[in-house]
Amino acid sequence: MIANYGYKDGSGEFFISIDTAKCAQCEAKPCVEACPEKILVIFTDDYDDEVIGVKEEHRKKIKYSCGPCKPITEKRNLSCQKACPSGAIVHSW
């Protein structure tokens, strides 16, 4: 499953896409620890796979939560993507 977490409003589209099929295969899930803002969480989905998702409290403000790793104008340095061994995390902005 490609799970898209985030939102769209007048200022743009801010979604983090997680490929849970890849994610379920990964035992270590290093992305969760790698995120400096701790926005990712491990949970068991509706099909009983252990996957990661974006924490509920960050979903409506990920533009701000992810701000430290990617300010709008400056270089991008995405700790979650660097940590993920299977390229399962994609950001829309």
Partner 1 sequence: MITAGVDAGNKFTKVVIIRDGEVISRDQLPSGFDRRQSAFKAFKRALSTAGLNEDDVQKVMATGAGRSEVDFAGGTVTEVGAAARGSIHVIPESRTVIDVGAEEGRALKMDETGKVLNFTISDKCAAGAGSFIEMMSQALEITPEEMGSLSLQAVQTVPMNAQCAVFAESEVISLIHSRVPKADIARSVFNAMAGRISSLVRRVGLNKELAMIGGMAKNPGFVRELEKDLDTKIFLTENPDFVSALGAALIAAEKIS
Partner 2 sequence: MATGKKKEHWRWEESNWHNPEIDWVKARIITAGVDVGSVSSQAVIMCDGKLFAYSNMRTGSNSPDSALNAINWAMEETGLTLDDLHYTVGTGYGRINVPFANRAVTEIACHARSGGFMYGPTVRTILDIGGQDSKVIHCDSKGKVTSFIMNDKCAAGTGRGMEVFADLLDIPIGEVGTRSLDVEEEPEPVSSTCVVFAKTEAVGLLHAGWSKERVLAAYCSSMAQRVLSLLNRIGIKKDLVITGGIAKNIGIVSRIEDKLGITALKPRYDTQIAGAVGAALFARALIEKDN
Q: Does 10 bind partner 1 (CB under 8 A)?
A: yes
Of 25-54, binders to partner 2 (CB under 8 A) are: 45-47
Give the integer Cα–Cα distance in Å for 63 and 84: 20
Let me know: does 26 contact 88? Beta carbons within 8 Å.
yes
Stretch that binds partner 2, among 9-17, 26-34, 73-81, 82-90 (CB under 8 A): 9-17
Counting residues that bind partner 2 (by CB under 8 A) gives 16
Distance between CA atoms of residues 74 and 12, nearest Å: 17
| Site of interaction with partner 2 (CB under 8 A) | 1-4, 7-10, 13, 15, 45-47, 59-60, 92
